[in-house]
Structure 1
Amino acid sequence: MESPVGLRERKKAATRQAVHEATMRLTVELGFDHVTVEAVADAAGISRRTFSNYFTNKEDALLYGEEQLIGSLVRAIRDRPADEPAWTALRAAVTEFSRRVEPPEREWAVRTRLAMRHPSLLARQLANHAELERDLADAIAVRKGPGNGPVRPAVLAAAFLSTLRIAMRMWIEEDLARAPGEVIDEVLEEMARSFD
């Protein structure tokens, strides 16, 4: 028999996902500026108050999918062999992650384009990335390698997430001509080169 805690957590996750999907759908249909929290709550079949239990605002609801993907990527990096050098682990994790979890390309494109046009969404996305950057730096810090102090993990985490942002922007500018993983790999390769 299933524990009530497990069932409750799955129901919460399903509600979060439903709210996120409703926000994406309404944003595509109406435009981000015309989407209200009330409309999202109605579309997801929940009350305004229930929406507030899950998300602070429509920006958070819209970016939830991206947050989950990057959180999964951080977990994939933590799961890499402990003796693997940090940048090698980052590259291997993103390659493995791209093969295993192919994100919905349309959703990535919509989110990226919206963030480029809406300051409130970009601000929320950058705040999410700052938190994820700290998590990523923590995952890197436990690895062996040069520069075991706090600076190297912070620099590698920032460089890695910058690489992902650059790759997503390039992917959009290329009008989705290639797979996102291919663009990410190209930018990671460039980031690995010496700056000298």
Structure 2
Amino acid sequence: MADGLRERKKAATREALCRAALRLTVERGYENVLVDDIATAAGVSPRTFNNYFTSKAEAVAHRHRHHLEQLARKLHEQPADVPLWVAIATVATTYFGGDEHLPDPSWAEDIGVVAAHPAVYAEFLKASVLAEESIAEVIGERTGADPFYQRLAAAAVGTAIRVAIEEWRHPDPRPLGRLIGSAIEQLTAGLPTP
């Protein structure tokens, strides 16, 4: 019980730091935000910040990794008799809002400002690669496929999601879940020439 409470507190602290890093970066610009500022905004010490993140860019990108790891968890929960790519498309589409999550122009602009900094973009890519390990593991459990296929399929899923998010924030008028579903359907079809 104490371990569960401790883990929830850690998750809440990590989330508070991530939210503070995102908000301050949008408000001030990445270069104008210090780790001390993020820690203060989250109500913790700079030392606590350093227990959770190695850099402010990692804090900014944390939510992206969290979403992809949640997707892996939800994929793991899909019934075993559902074909792999149907399960992936279903989970990714519903997790990212299905047909309801339309782009908010101000949010899309804010995310563009945050991701434009090279250090933050590098952390987004790193977060994607790390989260793809979780997706690959679930793909392996579901299929028994060799590690090469697991990593290749997970990387394809991660790339499809990244490209769909980039399109959505420009903003593409389609809901994010629908864009992600479309990207995965095209992967499943072998990316035929339009």
Flag the 1:16–1:179 CA change in 2: closer, same or farther, 3 A: same
Per-residue displacement from partner, 1:33-75 (whole Å, max 9, x unpaired)? 2111011111112111111111111111111222211111000
Following TM superposition, the consecutive aligned residue runs of length 4 or more in structure 1 with deviations greater than 4 angstroms are 102-108
Show the 5 A alignment for 1:140-179.
140-144=139-143, 148-173=145-170, 175=171, 177-179=173-175
Any conservation in 2 of the 1:136–1:157 contact (CA below 8 Å)? Answer: yes
Match of 2:15 among 11, 17, 20: 17
Matched residue, 1:114: 114
2:152 and 2:21 map into 1 onto residues whose CA distance is 34
Show the 5 A alignment for 1:118-129.
118-129=117-128
* Identical pairs, percent: 36
Flag the 1:135–1:105 CA change in 2: closer, same or farther, 3 A: same
Matched residue, 2:183: 187
Matched residue, 2:136: 137
State how many pairs are aligned.
Answer: 189
Greater RCO between the two (CA within 8 Å, min separation 6)? 2
1:152 CA displacement: 2.1
Instruction: Say yes or no: does 1:75 pair with 2:70.
Output: no
Instruction: Say yes or no: does 1:96 pair with 2:94.
Output: yes
Any conservation in 2 of the 1:91–1:188 contact (CA below 8 Å)? Answer: yes
Per-residue displacement from partner, 1:75-117 (whole Å, max 9, x unpaired)? 01111112322211211211232349x88966973445532x2
What TM-score comes out, normalization by structure 2 length? Answer: 0.85
Q: Secondary structure at the match of 2:169?
A: helix
Unaligned regions of 5+ residues in structure 1, if any?
none
Q: In the alignment, residue 27 of structure 1 is paired with which amino acid?
A: T
Unaligned regions of 5+ residues in structure 2, if any?
none
Q: Secondary structure at the match of 1:143?
A: helix
1:8 CA displacement: 2.2
